[in-house]
């Protein structure tokens, strides 16, 4: 069974509920989103996401309230999670942009370059193709060498696998939609 999709309106309602709960505790939090939620919120590149890949501070207070919001709004407990955080670069906070604000909660999306580098390294044939296509067009990238340069800039010492190169070459060979 797949997870329910979360629309932008539903996600913003969840962030409002989270912010209200944090405000009652006197906590001000920051959430850095990446993956599908960043594609939706920063670039309007998709209508919904299954969850929010994120890193957040302060960790304990936000995690407690994320679970309470899930129960309150009928969302899965993992609606906001840190499962993909090990794939972030060490400088993911650089060039992050605010995508939603409240006095008790700031939502930041990692940059398009950061997202492209992550998606290019993963190059999951079905999950990442549309995002890679969108991000290369958004960044004005038309050549594999330029994608490799972004990966090297964001993740020094990392290179694309042969499989990732083939996937990205296929994406770049197709005209933008």
| pLDDT tens track for 11-38 | 999 999 999 999 999 999 999 999 999 9
How does residue 177 score in pLDDT terms, banded at 50, 70 and 90? low
Q: Please check the confidence at residue 1 and state whether its pLDDT lies above 60.
A: no
Q: What is the pTM of this model?
A: 0.93
Q: Residue 53 gets which letter from DSSP?
A: E
How much is the mean pLDDT over the chain? 94
Residue with the two structure tokens 């942009």: 97
Write down the pLDDT at residue 2.
Answer: 60
CB-based contact 160:121 (threshold 8 Å): yes
For the chain, give every domain's residue range: 6-110, 113-173
């Amino acid at each position: 069974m797949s997870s329910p999709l979360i629309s932008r309106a539903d996600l913003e309602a969840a962030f409002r509920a989270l912010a209200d709960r944090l405000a009652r505790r006197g906590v001000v939090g920051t959430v850095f989103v990446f993956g599908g939620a960043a594609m939706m919120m920063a670039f309007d590149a998709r209508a919904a996401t299954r969850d929010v890949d994120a890193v957040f501070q302060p960790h304990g207070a936000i995690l407690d309230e994320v679970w309470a919001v899930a129960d309150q709004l009928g969302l899965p407990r993992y609606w906001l999670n840190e499962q993909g955080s090990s794939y972030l670069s060490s400088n993911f906070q650089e060039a992050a942009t605010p995508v939603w604000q409240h006095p008790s909660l700031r939502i930041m999306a990692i940059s398009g370059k950061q997202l492209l580098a992550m998606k290019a390294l993963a190059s999951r044939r079905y999950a990442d193709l549309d995002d890679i296509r969108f991000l290369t067009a958004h960044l004005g990238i038309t050549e594999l060498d330029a994608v490799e340069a972004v990966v090297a800039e964001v993740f020094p010492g990392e290179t694309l696998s042969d499989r990732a190169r083939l996937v990205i070459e296929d994406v770049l060979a197709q005209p933008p939609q």
